[in-house]
């Protein structure tokens, strides 16, 4: 018989999202998704990358019912979502879209958060508590009464994030979160995903940012022409020159550097994958040279 720990482990290992051979064509006939099969596990942090028009946004829009697959099925926590409403699915899946202004429409920052919490049927006190908490966490308190239309690009992106995070969904999906963000805003975002991951959230991030994906996302899928063309550890996927060319991405800087070093004769640098490993490799090399003088 299995013990409790083994059973817990099995539950953890079950996919939280299953795409089972799905496809989608827009009403105008554009075939945006073709035969997509994909398992995403609880607590995973993964990236979706690929050229513009590859189908990334279409794929994530299927997760909260904004788009229903033309064929195939999607399971979230073992339930087929075909008959679940957008409202029900939005409690489980929080999607933060690329353009925050498509998501924001209340008269004030505080109202925006309150509106987002409305459908969760919480007590008045709980709502106020969550509003205060999230405004503080996102440093938006000073804008409490301001119209979302009068926020800067970075602040409105933060509000769009806050209005989804306050609902505490199990699965968080971000569509190009680092696009147009400055270094400080990206750092805030990285800390946010670290925090959410620590509490067991499953996180999916669409991104064109190779360095960000390489440094922070353990798994990456590559999409092209509505299909998944690669799925694996990010350091493996993004170091593959053939795949990178196919998706109009560029190789991570560390890989470019290691290729340049290899070309000057340092063949063993091939296995160096991270910045820290590269620092160690180079300092060993320098020490070795120094001791040979």
Residues near ligand ADP (CB under 6 A) are 26, 28, 30, 32, 50, 52-58
In the bound state, the residue with its beta carbon closest to Mg ion is: 57
Instruction: Supply the minimum distance, in Å, between the C-beta of residue 227 and ligand ADP.
Output: 11
Cβ closest to ligand ADP, residue 162 vs residue 221: 221
Residue number, 116 or 234, with CB nearest to ligand ADP: 234
Closer Cβ to ligand ADP, 215 or 225, answer by number: 225
Order of strands, sheet of 15-25, starting from the edge strand that comes earlier in the sequence: 31-41, 15-25, 71-76, 79-80
- Strand ranges for the chain from DSSP E: 15-25, 31-41, 45-50, 71-76, 79-80, 93-96, 171-175, 202-206, 219-224, 227-233
Binding partner of residue 55 among Mg ion, ligand ADP, none, CB under 5 to 8 Å per kind? ligand ADP
Out of ligand ADP, Mg ion, none, what residue 54 binds, judged by CB under 5 to 8 A for its kind, is ligand ADP
CB of 50 to ligand ADP, least distance (A): 6
Measured CA to CA, the distance from residue 108 to residue 147 in angstroms comes to 4
Residue with Cβ nearer ligand ADP (23 or 53): 53
Closest distance to ligand ADP from the beta carbon of 27 (Å): 7
Q: Which is nearer to Mg ion, 57 or 181 (CB)?
A: 57
Whole-number minimum distance, CB 166 to ligand ADP, in Å?
26
- Read out DSSP for 178-213? TTT--HHHHHHHHHHHHHHHHTT-EEEEE---HHHH
Q: Which is nearer to ligand ADP, 163 or 207 (CB)?
A: 207
List CB contacts of 180: < 8 A, sequence separation 6 or more.
153
* Site size with Mg ion, rule: CB under 5 A: 1
Is beta strand 93-96 parallel, antiparallel or unpaired with respect to 79-80?
unpaired
Q: Which does 239 bind (CB under 5 to 8 A by kind): Mg ion, ligand ADP, none?
A: none
| Residue 190: C-alpha distances to residues 81, 85, 152, 222, 255 (Å) | 30, 31, 20, 21, 22
Sign of CA dihedral 99, 54, 217, 43: positive
Give the shortest CB-37-to-ligand ADP separation in angstroms: 18
Contact 46, 213 (CB under 8 A): no
Which 3 state secondary structure label does DSSP give 123? coil
Instruction: Please report, as residue ranges, which positions from 21 to 60 form the binding site for Mg ion (by CB under 5 A).
Output: 57
And the tokens for 228?
A: 């998944």
Q: Which is nearer to Mg ion, 57 or 64 (CB)?
A: 57
* Least distance (Å) between residue 102 CB and ligand ADP: 13
Which partner in ligand ADP, Mg ion, none is near 276 (CB below 5 to 8 A by kind)? none
62 scored as a contact of Mg ion (CB under 5 A): no
**Residue 13 neighbours by CB under 8 Å, 6+ apart:** 41
Distance in Å, CB of 56 to Mg ion, minimum: 5
What single string gives the DSSP state of each residue in 254-266? HHHHHHHHHHTT-
Q: Which does 53 bind (CB under 5 to 8 A by kind): ligand ADP, Mg ion, none?
A: ligand ADP
**Residue 5 in 3-state DSSP?**
helix
Residues of this chain that interact with Mg ion (CB under 5 A) are 57
């Amino acid at each position: 018989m299995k013990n409790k720990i083994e059973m817990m482990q099995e539950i953890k290992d079950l996919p939280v999202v299953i795409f089972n051979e799905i496809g989608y064509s827009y009403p105008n006939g554009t075939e945006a998704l073709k035969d997509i099969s994909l398992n995403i596990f609880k607590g995973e942090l993964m990236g979706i990358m690929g050229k513009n028009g590859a189908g990334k946004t279409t794929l994530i829009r299927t997760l909260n019912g904004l788009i229903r697959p033309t064929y195939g099925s999607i399971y979230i926590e073992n339930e087929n979502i075909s008959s679940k409403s957008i409202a029900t699915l939005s409690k489980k899946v929080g999607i933060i879209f690329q353009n925050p202004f498509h998501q924001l429409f209340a008269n004030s920052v505080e109202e925006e958060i309150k509106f987002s919490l409305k459908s969760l049927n919480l007590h008045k006190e709980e709502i106020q508590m969550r509003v205060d908490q999230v405004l503080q966490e996102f440093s938006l308190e000073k804008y409490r009464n301001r119209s979302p239309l009068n926020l800067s690009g970075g602040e409105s992106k933060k509000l769009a994030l806050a209005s989804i995070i306050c609902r505490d969904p199990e699965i968080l999906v971000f569509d190009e979160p680092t696009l147009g963000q400055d270094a400080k805003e990206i750092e805030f975002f990285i800390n946010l995903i670290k925090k959410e991951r620590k509490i067991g959230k499953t996180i999916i991030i669409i991104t064109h940012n190779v360095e960000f994906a390489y440094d922070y996302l353990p798994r990456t899928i590559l999409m092209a022409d509505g299909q998944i063309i690669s799925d694996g550890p990010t350091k493996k996927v993004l170091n593959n020159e053939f795949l990178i060319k196919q998706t109009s991405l560029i190789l991570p800087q560390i890989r470019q550097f290691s290729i340049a070093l290899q070309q000057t004769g340092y063949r063993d640098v091939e296995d160096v994958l991270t910045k820290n490993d590269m620092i160690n490799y180079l300092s060993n090399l320098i020490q070795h040279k120094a001791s040979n003088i």
